[in-house]
Amino acid sequence: MKNVLIYNWTFSRLLWIIIGMVIVAEAIVGKELVTGIAGLIYTGMGVFNKTFCSLGSCSVSQRAAKNDAGIGGIKQIEK
């Protein structure tokens, strides 16, 4: 956990934190609880270097592609 918080700081990670802090500030000014929670999530994603895809919620289907000798050698995807 210490390594996650101290090392590998990138521009995108700082951007997540800045966006999250702006959302939290807007939530405080507007007195909106749900917006504040969303801001905390964005800020947490930057602090802990975890995004929705790195948590395993994004997936790509594993469909096999075959080469069809049709128009211009376009690959057709099987289902």
Residue 52, phi then psi, degrees to nearest 5: -65, -35
Kind and range of the H or E run holding 12: helix 11-30
pTM recorded for the entire structure: 0.61
Per-domain residue ranges of the chain: 16-51
Confidence of residue 69 (pLDDT cuts 50, 70, 90): low
Grade residue 9 by pLDDT with cuts at 50, 70 and 90: confident
* Average pLDDT over every residue of 8-14: 84
Give the model's pLDDT for residue 32. 94
Per residue in 18-64, pLDDT tens? 999 999 999 999 999 999 999 999 999 888 887 766 656 665 555 54
For the chain, give the DSSP string: -HHHHHS---HHHHHHHHHHHHHHHHHHHHT-HHHHHHHHHHHHHHHTT--TTTTT------PPEEE--SGGGPEEEP-
